[in-house]
Chains A and B, each alone.
Chain A
Amino acid sequence: NAGVMQNPRHLVRRRGQEARLRCSPMKGHSHVYWYRQLPEEGLKFMVYLQKENIIDESGMPKERFSAEFPKEGPSILRIQQVVRGDSAAYFCASSLNPGQSNQPQHFGDGTRLSIL
């Protein structure tokens, strides 16, 4: 399967714990995006990364949330000290060169985070 791979598919955490969501982009893609979807809502942009660089984090809360895309390995979205409001589906997408308008973002199947 050469698509965007996210794991885990489901993650349950208690309030105050840390959540780590992983994303491996499509083969050959070096641009990764994280989105969050609340129930009955559209996807909301969080952060855009290239290898070892955060390009745009304008949609990510300033506290408790961080993201990385190391030279080797998957992209990680980390949420520290989780609260009930963090419960959502988190989707990762990847693309080739986003400067070319005909390069759509391709999505993984998401991680459903539930906070007890």
Chain B
Amino acid sequence: DQQVKQNSPSLSVQEGRISILNCDYTNSMFDYFLWYKKYPAEGPTFLISISSIKDKNEDGRFTVFLNKSAKHLSLHIVPSQPGDSAVYFCAARSNTPLVFGKGTRLSVIA
């Protein structure tokens, strides 16, 4: 039973355009959501997070949107850069352990 789902295994975007990565969840007890970025042979790097009491959090080129009624969140990257090419994991928390999605591989094409 997958509580956090990233339905797009991969995404290709032109440099300078917007990248939108999506994530759906099933557990309404999740109160905190995070996005991590992962390069090959490295650990996940924390990008941005959002509390369940908010619907938007912005940090530079990265914005996370949360739609609680739809149990959906998205990560927007604008403008996309070649260095953003990586696997992006959505994660959610109700207690302490994080529950991760399977990731979306983003390729930003120059």
Contacts and interface: CB of A to CB of B under 8 A. Distances in A.
Contacts, number: 58
A102 B49 contact: yes
A41 B2 CA distance: 11
B69 interface: no
A105 interface: yes
Interface stretch (B12-20, B39-47, B71-79): B39-47
A59 B100 CA distance: 13
Interface string A50-70: 000001101100000000000
Contacts of B42: 109-110
Contacts of A105: 46, 98
Interface of A: 4, 6, 31, 33, 35, 40-45, 48, 55-56, 58-59, 91, 98, 101-102, 104-110
Interface in B60-88: none
Interface residues of B, number: 24
Contact of A43 (B31, B32, B44, B45): B44
A104 B100 contact: no
Interface string B2-34: 001000000000000000000000000001101
Contacts of B49: 102, 104
A40 B89 CA distance: 12
A4 B43 contact: yes
B99 A110 contact: no
A29 B42 CA distance: 20
Nearest to B46: A104
B96 A108 contact: no
Contacts of B41: 109
20 contacts: A4-B43, A6-B43, A33-B96, A35-B98, A40-B102, A41-B102, A42-B101, A43-B89, A44-B100, A45-B99, A58-B97, A91-B43, A102-B49, A104-B46, A104-B49, A105-B46, A106-B46, A109-B42, A109-B43, A110-B43
